[in-house]
Structure formats: structure tokens, C-alpha cells
Amino acid sequence: MMTAITDNLSVFVVILPLFIAFVLPTFARRMKLVEGLVISVETLWLIGVGYLASIVLMQKGLPIIYKLGGWEAPWGIELKVDSLGAFFLLVIVGVSLPVALFARGNLTEEVGSKERVIRFYVLYLLLGGAMAGMAVTNDLFNVFVLVEVATLSCCGLVSAGNHPRAAEAAFKYLILATLGSTLLLGGIGFIYMTTGHLNMSFAHGELAQVWQNSPHVVWMAFSFMLVGFGVKSAVFPLHVWLPDAHSNAPTPASAILSSIAVKGYLICLLKVLYNVFGPALMVQFNVHRILMLAGMVAIIAGSIRALAQDELKRRLAYSTVAQVGYILLGFGLMNIKSLTGALFYLASHAVIKSSLFLAAGAMIGATGKKNISELAGIGRKMPYTMAAFTIGSLSLIGIPLFSGFIGKWNLLLGGLETGNILSAIVIVLGSVMCAVYLLPIIRIAYFEPAPEEDWQDPGLPQKIALILLSAAVMILGILPGPVLELATRAATELLMFQ
Amino acid sequence: MKIFLEKLVVNYPFTIAVFLFMIGALIVLTKSNLFKKLIGINVMESAIYIMFAGGGNIRGGAVPILEEATPKSLFINPLPSALMLTGIVVSVSVTAFGLALIIRLYKTYGTTDARKIAEMRNEVIKG
């Protein structure tokens, strides 16, 4: 029994949330039961992923390969849990458990009736399962299907809010995201037609030999993939849907969208770029320069747009656009330090941004006010929430001893290693701008006179969720240990991939 | 130039796919009617399906499994067609979800025109 579970663990971590998602609607109206089930499934998932990650860590670079249905690689679909996959699985579960805890008993106000809350949980688990699949799959068409499952559940989560702007934001997101996935499918088609393989490892081997026969097709595949994933992960000029979608979604949804959903597409982009095309082809086609440029522009432009927002959730959403820039910059710099930095920053941003969004949602829920200027003195009324927000902000700025620092520091070292001074300047400038748009919120919250109104901290599960996420931010900053090791190993594997 | 045109005609599925893709993208990006946007998405997706199916086709090839392959006629590649069945399922679900959202928007705003919806929303914010 035990061996059957451990042997098939890499498929269980994908199927478990997907399966439970479709069981949930049968418990109509029994909200307590559904919430308990979701949290216990997330806990079980965390245990499974933790075990899988520990196996990957102990195997020192050997990936766990699982053949679906027992078919061998070029014909069947492979799941490959390498360091990157295990790393991203840890991030997904580590964030989605606290967010599910935060959602407990707190959704009816934002979402509406009980049936709608239960449907919200269905989409929540579907998104988690699809993201887990994207982390471990080694098949290009599988990537497309999982991306579509994730996109549709994201749109559903955005439209879950019971106000009309939610539907509008969801439609905008749906159209742009479908545009992206159509381009993605086209890119997969080009790769399939040049190589005859959908398996990433086989496609990579074939592509390295045949790309010279049809360089234009490879070029098209590159651009389709870049734009397709770029739309979905809100790379700067293609980010137009993100602020609307993330600020109009219910609080747990905007936390999970900003922290996990955007990152899943980035991880897929990373896998396609490094595991299918390979670093050599990237340099040949100058894709790394495009990534670097897009990253730097995103950091600056996203930060400037964030500065201009007075609505708290919109400011955080634009901040996500800027932070995606850091990750892309790390992908483009193409050395071990910068890739490690990008991956670690991806994990720390996932934790930080979900804690910031949850804290912001708790404040908006308690006060009914959306704008930063109206939240004066809130730090004295809601100490827990504001403490979580402060820890998140300091970490996002990149103060040492917080998790954001390690990612940014590695990125900076990576940039200097390649002799790219401009990227180092942009990284530091982005940090300064981050301080400029986040610190005023903290100043207003703590150093303005407290208002008369009776604003209170959210209930116990919400407090636990915020404390868990803040603790994760601190622990990742002080003792990055295994997470940093997984990130370093993933970066090494990506660059050495042959 | 002549070789280029000849290639366009010989590989006509790809030519059609490129044109359909451009038409679809144009509809999505320029039309403000929400239904037309959704139709544009579907046209774009059809272009990709034609590209895949055309890529798997061999002219005069045998149908896999049903027919026996002879040295003269090869099997056509069934995989792209099978993949596109999945793609069609995905696009149907996207369309259904989009239509549901349009119904919700129509109930709130009484119109399916994106520009009018944006105007009405801005008025609400100002007032």
C-alpha cells in the first residue's frame, strides 16, 4: 500500500485537488463540511508535496519520471518531477493552504450565496491542480490543456465577486487570456511540425539538430510562445487585464491569482525556453535580450503605475506587474546566480503578495473603504493585519533578513556577473520605487491619528493565515535552506540541460 | 516571387490559416461588441486547428487503422487531429463561459457594447 502511494505520488499531487474539486458540489449547502474538506485536502496535499520534494532533494539531481498509463516516453505522456517542479509545487501548496484558511467563513460577503461559495472552492482547487500539473508535466500539449484549465478557473475566480465590475474584468481577462492560449497552441504546433515530438526532452534533442532547416519556423515558435505566455503572466505591455482582474476579484482569489496563477505561466515559459529550445538557441535568436529588456521595462513602468494608484488593491496589482519584471530579468540574464535569484524571488513574491493581498482584503472588508488615503490610523485598530502588511512590504522592498532580499541580492550578483550594469541599476531603482509606493501606506496606518470608527481585526482563521504567511516570509529570509538549495539546483539543471 | 506564390498555393491550408488568424485577431482587437469579440476568438482558434490538421495531412495518404498502408500511400498522421479534438473542447468551454459572462453584463448594463459599458461605468464612478 505504502509503496503504491509513494510510486505514484507524482501523479497524486496533480490529481488529488482536481478529483476533490469535482466531489465538492455534491455537498450542496453544507458549507462547514466543504470548508473542512478543502482545508484537509490542502493539508494532505502539503504532506504529499513535501515528501516528494524531500525525495527530489535527496536524489541529488535525478528527476522522478512518471509514465502516465505505463506508455514509454515519445508515445506516452511523461510527468517529470525535477528540482524546478518540486520547487514550484512547494510554492503552490505553501501559499494555497493559508489562503484557503483565510477564505474560511469569510467569503459569503464578497461572493454571495452558499452555492456560489462552494463553486468558488471548486474553481480554487481546479486552479491548484492545474498549476501543480504545469509544474511537473513534460509534455507540450499537456501544458496547453493545463494552461486552459488554469485560465478558465482564474476567469471564474475573478467573476465570483457579486458586483458587476467583476464580470467586466473577467470578460476582459477571458478574451486576452484566450488570445494568449491560441498563440500558445500555435507555438506548440510549430514546434511539433519541426520536430515531430510533443515530449519536451525529445523535442529539445530534435530541435537542436533540425532548427537550421527552418529557422523562420523556430523564430515564429519563439515569438508565439513569448507573447502567449507573456499575455497570461502579465509581462509589461501585455498586462492590461491584470489590474482590473486582480483588484475586482474576491480577496482570497486576488491573493491566489497574484501569487500563484501568474507564476505558473512564468514557470511554463521557463520550461519551454530552457527545456525545449535550450540556452544555446535562446542566445542564437537573442531571446535573452528580449526577456531582459521586457523585464527592465516592466520593473520601471509597473512601479510608476503603482505609484499613481490610490486604490489599495490596484496599487498591489500594479506592483505585481513590476515584480514579474524581476523574474523575467532573471530568466534573461542566463547564469546560475540570476536564475536562482529569479526562482527564489518568485517563491518569496508568491508568499509576500498573498499576505499583502489578504491583509488588504481584511482591511477593506472591515472598513468598507478601498482607498489608501481613507485608511489613516488603521494600524492602531487592526494590529495583526497591519503587522502582516508591514512585514510583507518590508520584504517586497528587499530589506535584509526578509525573503525578498535574498532573491534581489542573487539577481543583482547575477547581473554584475554578466557585466550588465544597467540591470543592476534597474534592480536597485525598482527597490527604491517599491519603498516609495509601499512605505506611505505604513506611515498613514501607524502615524496618523486613529479614527473614531470601530474597525476590528478579522476572525481567528484569518489571523492564523496571516501569521502563517508572515512567518513564511521571515523564515524564508532568515533560513532559506532547502528552498534556496532547490532553486539553485533547478537553475543549474536548467542551464546544464542537454 | 514566383516561388513564393507557388509555395503559398501548394501549402494552401497554411495560407488559409494565416488569413483566418489575422481576421480573427482583427475582430478581437477592433470590434467593441462583446459577441463579435467572442466570435473573433473562435475564428482565431479555427485557424490554429486548420494549421494542425494541415500539418498532419499527407495528400493521398491512407486512413490510419481502417485502411492498410501500401508502399505507395502512407498513413496520414492522426495525432494532430486528435489533439485538435481536445482544442475544440477547450474552445467550446471558453465560448460557453464567455456567453455566460455576456448575459451577466447585459443584465447589469442593458447593452453588449464594450464602449458603452465603459462609459456607463465611468459615469457611475463620477456621480
Q: Read off φ and ψ for residue A292, nearest 5 degrees.
A: -60, -45
User: What's chain A's Rg over C-alpha atoms?
Assistant: 21
Q: Which residues of B touch A164 (CB under 8 A)?
A: 104-105, 108-109
Q: Buried b / exposed e across A92-126, counting CB within 10 Å, b at 16+? A: bbbbbbbbbbbbbebbeebbbeeebbbbbbbbbbb
Provide mean pLDDT across the span A109-123. 85
Grid coordinates of B20? 483566418
CA of A164 vs chain B CAs: smallest distance (Å): 7
Q: Are A342 and A327 in contact (CB under 8 A)?
A: yes
Band of pLDDT at residue A450, cut at 50, 70 and 90 = confident
Grid coordinates of A266? 512564468
pLDDT of residue B100: 92
In chain A, what's the furthest Cα-to-Cα distance? 73
pLDDT of residue A166: 87
| Complex ipTM | 0.91
Q: Read off φ and ψ for residue B67, nearest 5 degrees.
A: -110, 160
pLDDT of residue B70: 67
CA of B70 vs chain A CAs: smallest distance (Å): 22
Band of pLDDT at residue B126, cut at 50, 70 and 90 = low
How confident is the model over A221-246, as pLDDT tens digits?
A: 999 999 999 999 988 888 888 988 88
Provide mean pLDDT across the span A381-385. 87
Using the Cβ of A65 and the Cβ atoms of chain B, whether some distance falls under 8 Å is answered with no
How confident is the model over A120-139, as pLDDT tens digits?
A: 999 999 999 999 999 999 99
pLDDT of residue A331: 92
Q: How buried is residue A330: exposed, middle or buried, by Cβ count under 10 Å (0-12/13-18/19+)?
A: buried
Give contacts of A 314-343 with B, CB under 8 A.
none
Q: Could you give the C-alpha distances from A155 to A172, A176, A250, in angstroms and in order?
A: 9, 11, 12
Q: Compute the mean pLDDT over every residue in chain A, rounded to the nearest whole number.
A: 89
Q: Are B24 and B31 in contact (CB under 8 A)?
A: no
Q: Write the single-letter amino acid at B65.
A: I
Distance between CA atoms of residues A472 and A246, nearest Å: 23
Element spanning B5, H or E? helix B2-10
Helical pair A262-271 and A336-367, crossing angle rounded to 10 deg: 170
Q: Write the single-letter amino acid at B2.
A: K
How confident is the model over B29-73, as pLDDT tens digits?
A: 898 899 999 999 999 999 999 998 888 887 777 777 777 666 667
DSSP state of A373: G
How confident is the model over A353-377, as pLDDT tens digits?
A: 999 999 999 988 888 888 888 888 8
Grid coordinates of A221? 515558435
Distance between CA atoms of residues A152 and A133, nearest Å: 15
DSSP state of A78: E
pLDDT of residue B69: 63
Q: Read off φ and ψ for residue A66, nearest 5 degrees.
A: -120, 125
Kindly report the length of chain A.
498
Q: Compute the mean pLDDT over every residue in chain B, rounded to the nearest whole number.
A: 86
Q: Do B37 and A175 touch (CB under 8 A)?
A: yes
pLDDT of residue B125: 61
Distance between CA atoms of residues A492 and A274, nearest Å: 11
Q: Are A40 and A102 in contact (CB under 8 A)?
A: no
Provide mean pLDDT across the span A22-32. 83
Residue of B4, B20, B85, B90 to mutate, interface with A, max A Cβ within 10 Å: B90
Q: Do B48 and A185 touch (CB under 8 A)?
A: yes
A143 pLDDT above the threshold of 60? yes
Distance between CA atoms of residues A483 and A467, nearest Å: 20
Q: Which residues of A touch B103 (CB under 8 A)?
A: none
Grid coordinates of A445? 496606518
Element spanning A208, H or E? helix A200-210
DSSP state of A402: S
Q: Long-range contact list for A25-29, CB < 8 A, 24+ apart?
A: A25/A118, A25/A119, A25/A122, A27/A118, A28/A115, A28/A118, A29/A114, A29/A115, A29/A118
* DSSP assignments along A290-314, one per residue: HHHHHHHHHHHHHHHHHHT--BHHH
Q: Write the single-letter amino acid at A234.
A: A
CA of A171 vs chain B CAs: smallest distance (Å): 6
Helices (H), A233-377: 241-248, 251-256, 262-271, 278-284, 287-307, 312-333, 336-367
Strand ranges inside A110-189, DSSP E:
none
A158 pLDDT above the threshold of 60? yes
Q: Do A156 and B97 touch (CB under 8 A)?
A: yes
Q: Do A145 and B108 touch (CB under 8 A)?
A: no
Q: Quick check: helix, strand or coil at residue A273?
A: helix
Distance between CA atoms of residues A290 and A27, nearest Å: 49
CA of A293 vs chain B CAs: smallest distance (Å): 25
pLDDT of residue A73: 78
B124 pLDDT above the threshold of 90? no
Q: Long-range contact list for A47-51, CB < 8 A, 24+ apart?
A: A48/A9, A48/A12, A48/A13, A48/A16, A49/A13, A49/A86, A49/A89, A49/A90, A49/A92, A49/A93, A49/A132, A50/A90, A50/A93, A51/A6, A51/A9
A498 pLDDT above the threshold of 60? no
